[in-house]
Amino acid sequence: MNKTILEKNVSTFKEDPRYKQCNKEALYGVILGIANMIWWYVLGYGLGSKPVEEYTYILGFPSWFFYSCILGAVVFIALTFIIVDKGFKNMPLDRMTEEEAEVYERQHNKEGA
């Protein structure tokens, strides 16, 4: 409801076409961060909460630490590389003129289709 009012108020307003992609990338960052925290939490506390006598070890580390921090680090470094390569796009960063914005939008829509 609020959104429709805002859109009506600024009916002549045209949003910078690059922002759609920017917002998507920001969202990837947030999702990656939350996934990272869940991984760390579930494996760290999941395996680390039992008594020390029952711990198993991987490469010398207690398994909770290995999975949560070491494997977690490797996995999330890899995921960062993959997401940046696949999901992040190059774009000009300087102020655009109307024409440049239209060209950008057309190219972008073509890619999307």
Partner 1 sequence: MSNVDFKVLIPIVLYFIFMYFIGIYAAKLLNKVKHKAQGDGSAYMDEYMTGGRDTGGFVLAMTLVATYLSAGSFIGGPGSAYTHGLAWVFLAMAQMPTGYYTLAVLGKKFAIVSRKINANSVTDFLRARYQSKAVVIIASVSIVFFLIAAMSAQWIGAARLLQGSTGLDYTVALAFFGITVVVHTAIGGYRGVVLNDTMQGIVMTISTFALFIAVVVKGGGIANLVQTMRAINPGMITPFGIKEGFMTTPWVTSFWILVGFATIGLPSIAQRAMSYKDSQSLNSGIKVGTLVSIVLLLGMHLVGAFGSTIISVESGDLVVPTLAVTLFSPVIAGIILSGPLASVMSTVDSQLLVVVGAIVNDLYVNYINPEFGKNPSKVQKLTIGAAVLIGVITFIAAYNPPELMVWLNLFATAGQLSTFLWPTMLGLYWKKANKEGAIASMLVGIGSYVIFNYFLPRPLLMHPIVSSLLLSLVVFVIVSKMTKEPSKEIIQTFWGI
Instruction: By CB under 8 A, name the binding residues for partner 1.
Output: 6, 10, 13-19, 21-23, 25-26, 28-30, 32-33, 36-37, 40-41, 44-45, 48-49, 52, 55, 57, 59-62, 64-65, 68-70, 72-73, 76-77, 80-81, 84, 88-98, 101
- Identify whether the C-beta of residue 27 lies closer than 8 Å to the C-beta of residue 3: no
54 or 110: CB nearest partner 1: 54
- Which stretches within the chain are classed as H helix? 2-9, 19-48, 63-65, 72-87, 98-112
**In sequence order, what DSSP letters do the residues of 10-33 get, joined into one string?**
TTT----TTHHHHHHHHHHHHHHH
Q: How far is the CB of 113 from partner 1 (least distance, A)?
A: 22
Q: How far is the CB of 108 from partner 1 (least distance, A)?
A: 14
